[in-house]
Amino acid sequence: MGKEFKIYTKTGDKGQTSLIGGRRVAKYDLQIEAYGTVDELNSYVGLIREQEGMAPEARAVLLEVMDRLFTLESLLAEDKSPDPEGRRPKRVLPSLFEEDVELLEREIDRMNERLPLLQSFILPGGSRAAALCHVARTVCRRAERTALNLAQHLPFDPLVIKYLNRLSDYLFVLARHCNQAVGGEEILWKPKA
């Protein structure tokens, strides 16, 4: 049997945490902000998945999304600082693949086939599940912006950005699909002139 996983370590009590690889950084470091925002997004995706009446197909896709978001977090949490003495142990992290993005695209297309043509912006809401999808979509956009900012300072797999971009589209279409499934009202935005 393995070593017990202790929840509290007390190592972060002074405002620092470790990246994958061991280097300590401030908890407000941009790298921590990036993967922390993805973690927040993952929690919202879990909440969407557990909504009453969520279709089994959507639940399966959302579970896959949650797995991919954990992968994304690990890619953003990796210590990429120089290791001139070769002391840092080599780690094999999970990967994102183009197929992960393609899954989201297929699901967007599948759901869109049954939705009415959208000719206006819509307001978030219509049903609880749809409203939660919109919250997750906005967190996803924030995660994407934070990751883009991080990419200016630290190289990482460009599929991270592509996946987040496509995921926000998927969450938007899923919100519409959820409304359609329960007869939720899709409220069109009517700008005042």
Q: Which amino acid is at 136?
A: A
Q: For residue range 149-192, what is the model confidence (pLDDT) as tens digits? A: 999 998 889 999 999 999 999 999 999 999 999 888 888 888 88
Query: How far is residue 135's CA from residue 116's CA, in Å, rounded to a whole number?
Result: 22
Backbone angles phi, psi at 20, to 5 degrees: -65, 115
90, pLDDT greater than 60: yes
Domains and CATH numbers, the chain: 26-78+96-182 (1.20.1200.10)
SS3 188: strand
Measuring CA to CA, which residue among 117, 118, 135, 119 is closest to residue 127? 135
Segments in the chain forming alpha helices (H): 30-49, 56-77, 98-112, 128-151, 159-182
Region 121-141: mean pLDDT is 95
